Structure 1
């Protein structure tokens, strides 16, 4: 009897094993593996795309930095604290820049009248600084700026402007509406409120903004001083 019972138990065990839906289980496992594989592929593709995007952005930033390298080292600043206020134009790069032009306002001591000084520098050598002192400025009383023309005193060009009025003590620099130049690659740049931007107007064209320019009396710089910059090729703005 014992042997017969053991045989029945073994047969029942075999039948239980056979009752398991192995095909269905294998199908489900295969599907799960496929889903996991797709998920892994999707994640890998996503991260791969993110890495490629980061590399592209980095390449663009590097190219932009290379494009802006020289231009970022060409700038101006106004020394208003010294006994004789002055405008400083600097090229702190080891290469020259060309077609440098700017315009700045000077406010007379009464605070009512603005003077406009358009200045064409031309080429600015490497590692150099141009200083335009307030004492070198002359203006024509009552002569409004002509929007169709520029005056080129620094570049040595002739002008019919009769600027015979010295800027009186107590006047102050009152803004730089434009500053343009062309870098070594022939790219035009400008600084608006000190910020460097692509594009420039050049010597003979382009607006000066607002009614302030239209109502200003025009003047010119009668002389400049050229200096060597203290830093060259290092700091940028």
Structure 2
């Protein structure tokens, strides 16, 4: 009787652990395989090289940023220098730009104008009376005038009127009257201008209050003159002209600074 009761119990004891072992082994294998695969991928990445590449890219980015910043700074400095130069040139031309001229519509009078609040000095006015028959015995198509003035006062104009103009047939190489005839010794034969012809401006030379010499051209252009003692060439067959008396100076109504 003892032998028959022990066999089923032994059989049951033997079967249950076996079933448990076969059931538990795949689960244990799954839990240990997944972390190992992840760890294997992580280790395969060359992190040293990745860090080197990232560092190189950062260095290149820094160089590009520095280059852009340097270029921008150089451009700003260049613009500031250009603006400073323009402001300096504008200040340099401030007084000279206020010195101008015009001829009346009937071409009988020339106005030389100083609208600045400072005088101009060493003034030389060059103009001509053209298409004018001066003398039937000589071939003179007109007269050329080179008139020198010590200065032109602030906010004033000098008026060259036809009635004050004279001409002479004296050889050009020997006579160049820049002062009014009333200041010259007698001897030269000057005559009044006849009717006809027209007055044409050539150029105006003057020195501003800073000692800079300027030339205002026949088309209104303004430029500095390196040689204030420049000489004028008189057109062929033109006679020398002069003013009989000092040209009148008149004040202007409005010369507000700025």
User: What TM-score, normalized by structure 2, do the two folds share?
Assistant: 0.79
* Superimposed CA distance per residue, residues 167-190 of structure 1 (whole angstroms, 9 cap, x where no aligned partner): 2222102341x3111111111111
Name the one with the larger helix percent: 2
| Cα distance in 2 between the residues matched to 1:233 and 1:220 | 34
Secondary structure at 1:61's aligned position in 2?
Answer: helix
Partner residue, 2:48: 23
| Cα distance in 2 between the residues matched to 1:198 and 1:95 | 18
Structure number with the bigger relative contact order (C-alpha 8 A, sep ≥ 6) is: 1
| Cα distance in 2 between the residues matched to 1:230 and 1:117 | 28
**Relative to structure 1, is the Cα distance of residues 192 and 144 closer, same or farther in structure 2, using a 3 angstrom cutoff?**
farther
Secondary structure at 1:162's aligned position in 2?
Answer: coil
**Relative to structure 1, is the Cα distance of residues 201 and 165 closer, same or farther in structure 2, using a 3 angstrom cutoff?**
farther
Partner residue, 2:241: 219
Residue 207 of structure 2 is aligned to residue 207 of structure 1: no
**Relative to structure 1, is the Cα distance of residues 133 and 149 closer, same or farther in structure 2, using a 3 angstrom cutoff?**
closer
Q: CA deviation at 1:215?
A: 2.8
Provide the aligned length of Structure 1 versus Structure 2.
Answer: 226
* Superimposed CA distance per residue, residues 168-214 of structure 1 (whole angstroms, 9 cap, x where no aligned partner): 222102341x3111111111111223211111544xx42324x61x4
Secondary structure at 2:110's aligned position in 1?
Answer: strand
| Cα distance in 1 between the residues matched to 2:42 and 2:185 | 108
Residue 194 of structure 2 is aligned to residue 168 of structure 1: yes
Q: Which runs of 5 or more structure 2 residues have no equivalent in the other structure?
A: 1-25, 135-139
Q: CA deviation at 1:149?
A: 4.4
**Relative to structure 1, is the Cα distance of residues 78 and 198 closer, same or farther in structure 2, using a 3 angstrom cutoff?**
same
Partner residue, 1:129: 157
Question: Rg bigger for which structure?
Answer: 2
Partner residue, 1:5: 30
The answer to whether the 8 A contact 1:151-1:159 is kept is: no
Q: 2:114 aligns with which of 69, 91, 95?
A: 91
Q: 1:181 aligns with which of 198, 206, 230?
A: 206
Residue 130 of structure 2 is aligned to residue 107 of structure 1: yes
| Cα distance in 2 between the residues matched to 1:106 and 1:200 | 28
Secondary structure at 2:88's aligned position in 1?
Answer: helix
Residue 169 of structure 2 is aligned to residue 145 of structure 1: no
Partner residue, 2:148: 120
Q: CA deviation at 1:135?
A: 1.8
Partner residue, 2:184: 158
| Cα distance in 1 between the residues matched to 2:156 and 2:52 | 78
Secondary structure at 1:146's aligned position in 2?
Answer: helix
| Cα distance in 1 between the residues matched to 2:226 and 2:162 | 26
**Relative to structure 1, is the Cα distance of residues 147 and 75 closer, same or farther in structure 2, using a 3 angstrom cutoff?**
farther
